[in-house]
């Protein structure tokens, strides 16, 4: 990665703030300042490694409450950042925004915003959402791998029930419904159950989850697939305004009590599938009370295991953002989230509205990772290896992906830029960009039903 210096360019959204970006002349001329040499060197070579170094200097200053030094480093970063520049400039603009947001909480007087610092989110139509997830295979990779394994697992069943925990408003399922419709023996009946509450994260749509269910039902009817859609934890539909209201927060603890056979209306003659796409990261891993108590994340995995699913699909970004250290999170986040920025750079112009919207959603994630702490920091990813070990500890066995699934995923990636690839790694399928891990996909069965499911589940 390489950034071209742009000292004359000031990031547009920062012009409306009252932040004082101090000229770092005094920093460079202070002989005993240990950062002077490093920062001065960065001004002449603004590549990715140097930007990362600047971000870490700024984070260290904020962690030690040195607002003056933080402002000086931000001055340098601000002359690099550009929301319409190259990959690194665009990424830097979002990291700088997050650091300013964090600084404003540490020292509101020195780092105050005159205008709103809230990222404005546009509500997409369902059609726009489909185009959004098709831009890069960040989401479709997991859908494709999961759908093929689900199809294999439900073979022979006349009834299929999918308990869907995801953040992309069921956009995964039209392709699966279409696959069921092509079954030479006739399609099984399909029931999809979703929780009413979801993490308040992008992408956001302008219709309620009930309306999404109606549209899925219409498509299933068109394809002659018997279909039923259920929403648990809510007595009626919300308006689009209410659905997008941030006050409708993600109350996961209340949802745990709904994950039981009675509420879910589980039936003995149906194949139960648990689908988790970019979901577990939002469940707290903090243990309350005694050391023996389970975190919400483990409690959730235990509860769904008790439902005796035919298969469990777990897909998320292959990155560890659970560290308490800000500098650790910045390093990991910067080296992971340059990937979608870089991928979009290969085929969308710098002034593309689609590109800006996609990057803005990533920017919201960056802000949560960098700017917030405690219960407000909801982006707490675990990498695939960590999550796989968690699944084994809770009592699941890994199910290897079949060769047909691998072929299907490769076919999907062939439709995108040449930088995308895939590899098998410790029971996972991993999406890569230029050799860097992006997203992992895994499949699991509870240990207790391994002998009954007829799958080749691998031992831990």
The chain-wide mean pLDDT, for the chain, equals 85
**Strands 420-425, 270-277: parallel, antiparallel or unpaired by DSSP?**
unpaired
Q: What is the pLDDT of residues 224-282, one digit of tens each?
A: 999 999 999 864 444 444 444 443 335 777 788 899 999 999 999 999 999 999 999 99
Domain end marker among 333, 356, 375:
375
Residue 460 falls inside a structural domain: no
93 with 219, same domain? Answer: no
Q: Give CA–CA dist 424/422, Å, rounded.
A: 7
| Pure H helices in 79-190 | 87-106, 126-134, 140-153, 173-181
Q: What is the pLDDT of residues 287-332, one digit of tens each?
A: 776 555 789 999 999 999 999 999 999 999 999 999 999 999 999 9
364 with 411, same domain? Answer: no
Task: Single out the residue of 264, 242, 143 nearest to residue 192, CA to CA.
Answer: 264
Q: Give CA–CA dist 443/441, Å, rounded.
A: 7
Q: What are phi and psi of 161, to 5 degrees?
A: -125, 115
95 with 131, same domain? Answer: no
Contacts of 132 (CB under 8 A, 6+ apart): 124, 203, 354, 357, 358
268 with 183, same domain? Answer: yes
270 with 288, same domain? Answer: yes
Residue 366 CA, chain-centre distance (Å), reads: 11
Q: Give the single-character DSSP code of 199.
A: -
Q: Give CA–CA dist 343/2, Å, rounded.
A: 15
pLDDT reported for residue 67: 87
The neighbouring-strand residues paired with 191 are 161, 228
pLDDT reported for residue 375: 87
Q: What is the pLDDT of residues 411-433, one digit of tens each?
A: 999 999 999 999 999 899 999 99
Residue 56 falls inside a structural domain: yes
**Which sign, positive or negative, has the C-alpha torsion 449, 451, 455, 457?**
positive
Q: What is the pLDDT of residues 359-379, one digit of tens each?
A: 999 999 999 999 999 889 999
184 with 255, same domain? Answer: yes
| Pure H helices in 223-325 | 240-243, 252-256, 261-264, 296-305
The residue count for the chain: 460
pLDDT reported for residue 33: 57
Residue 156 falls inside a structural domain: yes
Query: What is the domain count for the chain?
Result: 2
CA distances from 306 to 71, 275, 277 (A): 52, 15, 20
Residue 314 falls inside a structural domain: yes
The residue with tokens 């000229």 is: 23
Residue 254 falls inside a structural domain: yes
83 with 151, same domain? Answer: no
Q: Give CA–CA dist 58/52, Å, rounded.
A: 10
The residue with tokens 């999404």 is: 212
pTM for this model (two decimals): 0.87
Task: Single out the residue of 205, 439, 200 nearest to residue 340, CA to CA.
Answer: 439
Residue 309 falls inside a structural domain: yes
Q: What's the CATH code of the domain at 141? A: 3.40.50.150
Whether 77 has a pLDDT exceeding 70, the answer reads yes
255 with 191, same domain? Answer: yes
410 with 355, same domain? Answer: no
Q: Which domain holds residue 103?
A: 42-117+325-375
Residue 403 falls inside a structural domain: yes
Whether 123 has a pLDDT exceeding 80, the answer reads yes
131 with 270, same domain? Answer: yes
Residue 17 falls inside a structural domain: no
392 with 433, same domain? Answer: yes
Q: Give CA–CA dist 152/149, Å, rounded.
A: 5
CB atoms within 10 A of CB 112: 14
Task: Please answer whether residues 209 and 248 qualify as being in contact, where contact means their C-beta atoms are separated by less than 8 angstroms.
Answer: no
Task: Please answer whether residues 106 and 65 qualify as being in contact, where contact means their C-beta atoms are separated by less than 8 angstroms.
Answer: yes
**Strands 159-166, 189-195: parallel, antiparallel or unpaired by DSSP?**
parallel
341 with 411, same domain? Answer: no
């Amino acid at each position: 990665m390489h950034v071209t210096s742009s000292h004359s360019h000031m990031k547009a959204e920062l012009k409306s703030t009252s932040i004082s970006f101090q000229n770092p002349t005094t920093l460079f001329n202070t002989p005993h300042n240990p950062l002077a040499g490093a920062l001065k060197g960065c001004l002449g070579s603004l590549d990715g490694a140097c930007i990362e170094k600047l971000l870490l200097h700024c984070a260290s200053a904020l962690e030690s409450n040195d607002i003056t030094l933080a402002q000086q480093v931000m001055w340098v970063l601000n002359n690099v950042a550009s929301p319409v520049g190259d990959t690194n400039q665009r990424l830097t603009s979002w990291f700088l925004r997050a650091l300013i947001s964090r600084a404003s909480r540490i020292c509101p007087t020195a780092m105050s915003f005159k205008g709103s610092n809230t990222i404005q989110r546009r509500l997409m139509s369902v059609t726009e959402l489909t185009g959004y997830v098709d831009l890069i295979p960040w989401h479709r990779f997991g859908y494709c791998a999961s759908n093929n394994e689900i199809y294999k697992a439900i073979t022979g069943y006349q009834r299929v029930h999918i308990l869907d925990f995801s953040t992309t408003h069921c956009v995964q399922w039209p392709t699966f419904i279409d696959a069921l419709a092509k079954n030479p023996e006739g399609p099984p009946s399909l029931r999809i159950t979703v929780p009413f509450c979801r993490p308040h994260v992008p992408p956001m749509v302008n219709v309620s989850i009930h309306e999404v269910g109606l549209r899925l039902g219409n498509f299933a009817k068109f394809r002659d697939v018997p279909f039923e859609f259920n929403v648990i934890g809510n007595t009626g539909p919300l308006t689009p305004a209410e659905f997008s209201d941030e006050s409708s927060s993600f109350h996961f603890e209340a949802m745990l009590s709904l994950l039981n056979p009675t509420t879910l209306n589980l039936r003995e003659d149906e194949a139960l599938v648990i689908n988790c796409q970019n979901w577990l990261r939002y469940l707290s891993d903090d243990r309350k009370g005694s050391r023996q108590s389970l975190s919400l994340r483990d409690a959730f995995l235990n509860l769904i295991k008790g439902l005796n699913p035919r298969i469990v699909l777990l897909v998320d970004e292959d990155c560890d953002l659970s560290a308490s250290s800000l500098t650790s999170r910045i390093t990991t986040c910067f080296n992971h989230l340059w990937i979608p920025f870089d991928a979009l750079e290969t085929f969308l112009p710098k002034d593309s509205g689609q590109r800006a919207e996609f990057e803005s959603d990533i920017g919201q994630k960056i802000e949560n990772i960098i700017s917030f702490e405690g219960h407000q920091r909801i982006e707490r990813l675990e990498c695939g290896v960590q999550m796989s070990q968690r699944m084994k500890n809770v009592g699941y066995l890994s199910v290897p992906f079949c060769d047909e699934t691998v072929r299907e995923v490769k076919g999907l990636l062939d439709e995108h830029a040449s930088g995308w690839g895939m590899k098998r790694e410790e029971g996972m399928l991993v999406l890569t960009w230029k050799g860097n891990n992006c997203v992992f996909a895994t499949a699991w069965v509870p240990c207790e039903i391994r002998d009954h499911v007829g799958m080749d589940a691998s031992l831990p």
